[in-house]
């Protein structure tokens, strides 16, 4: 006779704290916790080996946490449906518990298939909301008040002790899918796991956060001034609710009334809300990963990638130092601040006039904290295809001189430019022949010439995007988007 068990299916929620699926399953008897490394998802265009490594580190930490409450994590390398088929041969599965996931198109299709499979097998699959995201919303009326109520509600209790199945199964070895064999890990990325997540959060709320508001825009200062917990939120080592409550508790602390601290905490808390706001957009319009949010923009850009230009962009060889330094930084660390991310998308969308879809894949692989619900709405906003957002066309030179005035960030990631002072480090094309001799620097040889002429492509793109925004079809779809996806 097969042993009766309940299963907790871990996805992007790698913790035991504030974890309702784990708590509810623990009340019903024997619990098996399972995580799948799914070849189909690992083979996706948005997946990188750094995501796999970060997940493995997070799972090691999760397994240690589970061991403290007599639990154990089973890791299988297979599709979810094959994994559950294997488990069903071994166990009498009573119920499956998990969080709802707002993921990419592959995980969306996976969940639809799993729902049908569970129904066919007469296994109850119970999903719980995560991060304040609400499934099935027709509009965003009163969304913020509901979200805030969720964030201020009590954290779910951590089970004191789990009842583990008597039959212990071995973990599968993790195999690299073909696309991952051509990738190498980030040299200086953050490591995964809840223990590190808590250290980052504590250091931000005790010391680093005081500089948040002042340092958030600079690519150099933001590396310490920002929370740096985004990868841990993306993989669920931290729950958004526990972070929100810690920030709010600090705000309400009478001994913590410093003006800059209060302003920074308020700004940081608003970013937590915006995080859920964008994930809710993808939840409500799951096709956003594949299609323009506003179909009125279909045909504005060719969907055929220009790989000559895209390769220059993704390899950091555009001839625009702040663009190239940002890309090289991402390749080495997997993280850069929001302003530089927006600038990178603006550049590839307007200066290079590329459709957003392939750049979205490239950046998804580069971002260690890749979160589909933030990624695709933001990509579409920054590339100008929503019809409801302000057009954001960044000047690389303006961003460089304002956010990296002394060129410190550029020097860190483009050593070839380290001997050039401002303004040459921001725009080496300004060098005269005498300057080239003085600084022993040859544009085109030591560093590429700009791949496009800024003034020409900027004005050309500006004319096109504003002409399209005036089209009646764009305006009609914009009204529909406002009703469905914007908070009121």
> What is the C-alpha separation between 387 and 372, in angstroms, rounded?
21
CATH code, 433: 1.10.579.10
> What is the C-alpha separation between 452 and 47, in angstroms, rounded?
30
Phi (first) and psi of residue 235, to 5 degrees? -95, 0
Please give the residue range of the domain that contains residue 226. Answer: 192-284
Q: Is residue 150 part of a domain?
A: no
Check whether residue 374 and residue 274 sit in a common domain: no
Check whether residue 368 and residue 254 sit in a common domain: no
- Cβ-Cβ contacts under 8 Å for 50 (sequence gap 6 or more): 183, 185, 186, 189, 334, 368
Check whether residue 330 and residue 243 sit in a common domain: no
> What is the C-alpha separation between 477 and 387, in angstroms, rounded?
8
Q: Is residue 11 part of a domain?
A: yes
Check whether residue 406 and residue 462 sit in a common domain: yes
CATH code, 103: 3.40.50.620
CATH code, 208: 1.25.40.80
CA-nearest of 115, 121, 33, 122 to 70 is 33
Check whether residue 234 and residue 197 sit in a common domain: yes
Check whether residue 342 and residue 386 sit in a common domain: yes
Which of 284, 311, 326 is the endpoint of a domain? 284
Collapsing DSSP to helix, strand or coil, 316 comes out as coil
Check whether residue 263 and residue 303 sit in a common domain: no
Which of 104, 130, 156 is the endpoint of a domain? 130
> What is the C-alpha separation between 473 and 478, in angstroms, rounded?
9
> Looking at residue 53, what is its pLDDT?
98
Q: How many CA atoms lie within 13 A of 235 on its CB side?
A: 29
Check whether residue 315 and residue 280 sit in a common domain: no
Q: Is residue 290 part of a domain?
A: no
- Paired tokens of 461: 């793109």
**Counted domains in the chain:** 3
Which of 130, 154, 178 is the endpoint of a domain? 130
> What is the C-alpha separation between 20 and 3, in angstroms, rounded?
24
Q: Is residue 169 part of a domain?
A: no
Q: Is residue 323 part of a domain?
A: yes
pLDDT along the chain (488 residues), means of 10: 95 98 97 98 98 98 97 97 97 98 97 98 97 92 95 98 91 94 95 98 96 96 98 98 96 78 94 97 94 97 98 98 98 98 98 98 98 98 95 96 98 97 96 96 97 97 97 94 77
Q: Is residue 329 part of a domain?
A: yes
Check whether residue 328 and residue 216 sit in a common domain: no
Q: Is residue 168 part of a domain?
A: no
* Ramachandran area for residue 92 (φ above 0: left; ψ -120 to 50: alpha; else beta): beta
Check whether residue 370 and residue 445 sit in a common domain: yes
> Looking at residue 255, what is its pLDDT?
63
Collapsing DSSP to helix, strand or coil, 281 comes out as helix
| Residue pair 293/474 in contact by the 8 Å Cβ criterion | no
> Looking at residue 258, what is its pLDDT?
83
Distances (CA, A) of 180 to 50, 187, 201, 423: 9, 16, 31, 40
Our measurement of the distance from residue 476's CA atom to the centroid of its chain's CA atoms, rounded to an integer in Å, reads: 30
Check whether residue 383 and residue 302 sit in a common domain: yes
Check whether residue 413 and residue 322 sit in a common domain: yes
The shares of helix, strand and coil residues in the chain, as percent rounded to the nearest 5, are 55, 10, 40
Q: Is residue 185 part of a domain?
A: no
> Looking at residue 486, what is its pLDDT?
76
């Amino acid at each position: 006779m097969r042993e009766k068990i309940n299963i907790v299916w871990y996805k992007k929620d790698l913790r035991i704290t504030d974890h309702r699926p784990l708590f509810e399953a623990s009340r019903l008897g024997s619990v098996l916790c399972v995580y799948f490394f799914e070849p189909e998802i690992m083979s996706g265009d948005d997946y990188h080996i750094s995501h796999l490594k970060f997940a493995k580190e997070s799972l090691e930490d999760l397994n240690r946490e589970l061991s403290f409450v007599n639990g154990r994590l089973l890791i299988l390398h297979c599709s979810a449906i094959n994994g559950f088929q294997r488990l069903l041969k071994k166990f009498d599965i009573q119920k499956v518990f998990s969080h709802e996931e707002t993921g990419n198109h592959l995980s969306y299709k996976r969940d639809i298939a799993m729902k049908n499979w569970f129904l066919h097998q007469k296994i109850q699959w119970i999903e719980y909301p995560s991060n304040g995201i609400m499934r099935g919303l027709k509009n965003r009326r009163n969304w913020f008040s509901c979200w805030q109520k969720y964030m201020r509600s009590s954290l779910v209790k951590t089970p004191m002790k789990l009842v583990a199945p008597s039959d212990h199964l071995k973990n599968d070895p993790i195999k690299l899918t073909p696309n991952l064999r051509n990738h190498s890990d980030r040299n200086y990325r953050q490591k995964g796991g809840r223990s590190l997540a808590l250290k980052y959060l504590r250091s931000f709320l005790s010391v680093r956060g005081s500089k948040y508001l002042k340092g958030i825009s600079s690519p150099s200062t933001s590396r310490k001034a920002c929370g740096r917990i985004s990868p841990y939120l993306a993989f669920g080592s931290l729950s958004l609710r526990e972070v929100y409550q810690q920030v709010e508790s600090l705000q309400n602390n009478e001994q913590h009334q410093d003006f800059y601290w209060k302003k920074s905490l308020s700004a940081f808390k608003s970013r937590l809300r915006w995080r859920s706001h964008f994930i809710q957009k993808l939840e409500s319009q799951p096709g956003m990963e594949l299609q323009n949010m506003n179909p009125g923009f279909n045909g504005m850009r060719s969907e055929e990638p220009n790989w000559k230009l895209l390769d220059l962009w993704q390899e950091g060889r555009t001839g625009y130092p702040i663009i190239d330094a940002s890309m090289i930084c991402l390749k080495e660390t997997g993280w850069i601040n929001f302003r530089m991310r927006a600038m990178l998308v603006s550049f590839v969308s307007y200066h290079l006039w590329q459709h957003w879809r392939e750049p979205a894949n490239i950046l998804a692989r580069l971002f260690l904290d890749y979160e589909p619900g933030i990624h695709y709405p933001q990509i579409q906003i920054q590339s100008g295809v929503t019809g409801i957002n302000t057009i954001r066309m960044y000047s690389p030179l303006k961003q460089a001189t304002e956010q990296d005035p002394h060129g410190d960030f550029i020097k860190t990631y483009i050593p070839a430019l380290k001997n050039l002072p401002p303004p040459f480090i921001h725009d080496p094309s300004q060098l005269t022949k005498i300057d080239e001799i003085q600084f022993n620097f040859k544009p085109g040889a030591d560093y590429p010439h700009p791949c496009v002429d800024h003034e020409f492509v900027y004005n050309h793109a500006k004319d096109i995007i504003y002409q399209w925004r005036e089209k009646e079809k764009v305006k009609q779809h914009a009204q529909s988007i406002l009703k469905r996806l914007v908070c009121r």
